[in-house]
C-alpha cells in the first residue's frame, strides 16, 4: 500500500498521478513501439464545434452495429450476390488509365504470383489480395504519365498490425536520359503512408498520412 501526500507545486494530486500511472502502465503496448502514432490506449474526442455531430454519428453507429449483429452472414451474402453492384461506382471511369477490383471467380487461383492469394473474409467473396512473407508484387503494363496533366489515385489498403518499410503502389517511368517521372506510395514502421511524386525535371513532392 502506497501512502499519498501532495506538494504545494504539484501539477496534479499524487493520488491522481498514481491512478494514471496504474492505467497507462497496464496496457498491451510494447516498450518499443517504433514511435507509432496513436498506439493504444487512445481516446478520440471531438472538438466543441463537432460535438453534436459526433454524438449523432455515435448513436447511428450503435444502431447499425446492432442491426448488423441481428443479421446472419448467410443473409448478408445472399443480399450481396443479388444486388446490382454496378450502381456502386464511386469513381468516374472517364479518362481512366487503369482499374482492377482484384476480385476473381470462386475457386480461381487468380493468376497471382507466389505468396499472393485472394482475400475471402468478406460476405461478398474475394475483396482484394493478401501478401504473404516474401511475396512479390503485382505488376501491370501502363502507359507513361504526362507530367503536365492532373492525376488522381484511389485504393483500399488493409494494413497489418505493424507496418513495414515497403512500396505499396507505384507508377514510375525512367527515360533514356535516366530521369524518372511518376509516383509511388510507401509505408514505414512509424505508421505512415507517404505519397511521392516526381516530374523528371527535378521537382519532387511528398505527402505523408498517419493513423
Give the cell for residue 47. Answer: 472538438
Q: What's the pLDDT band for 108 if we cut at 50, 70, 90?
A: low
* pLDDT at residue 1 tops 50: no
Q: Which tens digit of pLDDT belongs to each residue from 61-74?
A: 999 999 888 888 88
Give the up-direction half-sphere exposure of residue 60: CA atoms within 13 A in the CB hemisphere. 6
Q: What is the pTM of this model?
A: 0.47
pLDDT at position 54 is: 92
Give the cell for residue 180. Answer: 524518372
Rounded average pLDDT over 192-205: 71
Please tell me the distance from the alpha carbon of residue 160 to that of residue 153, in angstroms, as a whole number.
21
pLDDT at position 85 is: 60
Residue 61 contacts by C-beta under 8 Å, 6 or more apart in sequence? Answer: none
Please tell me the distance from the alpha carbon of residue 90 to that of residue 74, in angstroms, as a whole number.
26
Q: What's the pLDDT band for 86 if we cut at 50, 70, 90?
A: low
Contact, 14 vs 6, CB < 8 A? yes
Q: What's the pLDDT band for 211 if we cut at 50, 70, 90?
A: very low
Rounded average pLDDT over 28-36: 54
Residue 17 contacts by C-beta under 8 Å, 6 or more apart in sequence? Answer: 10
Contact, 136 vs 114, CB < 8 A? yes
**Which has more pLDDT, 180 or 34?**
180
pLDDT at position 33 is: 52
**Which has more pLDDT, 121 or 131?**
131
Q: Would you tell me how many other CB atoms lie within 10 Å of the CB of residue 182? A: 19
**Which has more pLDDT, 207 or 183?**
183
pLDDT at position 116 is: 77
Rounded average pLDDT over 93-122: 72
Amino acid at each position: 500500500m502506497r501512502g499519498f501526500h501532495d506538494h504545494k507545486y504539484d501539477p496534479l494530486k499524487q493520488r491522481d498521478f498514481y491512478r494514471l500511472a496504474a492505467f497507462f502502465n497496464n496496457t498491451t503496448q510494447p516498450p518499443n513501439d517504433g514511435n507509432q502514432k496513436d498506439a493504444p490506449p487512445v481516446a478520440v474526442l471531438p472538438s466543441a464545434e463537432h460535438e453534436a455531430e459526433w454524438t449523432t454519428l455515435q448513436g447511428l453507429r450503435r444502431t447499425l452495429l446492432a442491426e448488423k449483429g441481428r443479421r446472419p452472414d448467410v443473409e448478408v451474402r445472399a443480399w450481396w450476390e443479388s444486388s446490382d453492384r454496378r450502381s456502386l461506382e464511386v469513381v468516374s471511369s472517364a479518362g481512366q488509365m487503369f482499374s482492377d477490383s482484384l476480385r476473381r471467380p470462386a475457386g480461381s487461383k487468380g493468376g497471382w504470383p507466389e505468396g499472393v492469394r485472394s482475400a475471402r473474409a468478406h460476405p461478398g467473396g474475394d475483396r482484394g489480395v493478401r501478401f504473404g512473407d516474401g511475396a512479390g508484387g503485382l505488376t501491370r503494363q501502363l502507359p507513361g504519365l504526362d507530367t503536365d496533366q492532373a492525376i488522381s489515385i484511389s485504393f483500399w489498403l488493409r494494413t497489418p498490425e505493424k507496418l513495414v518499410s515497403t512500396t505499396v503502389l507505384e507508377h514510375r517511368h525512367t527515360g533514356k536520359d535516366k530521369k524518372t517521372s511518376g509516383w509511388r506510395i510507401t509505408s514505414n514502421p512509424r505508421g505512415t503512408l507517404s505519397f511521392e511524386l516526381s516530374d523528371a525535371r527535378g521537382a519532387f513532392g511528398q505527402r505523408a498520412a498517419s493513423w
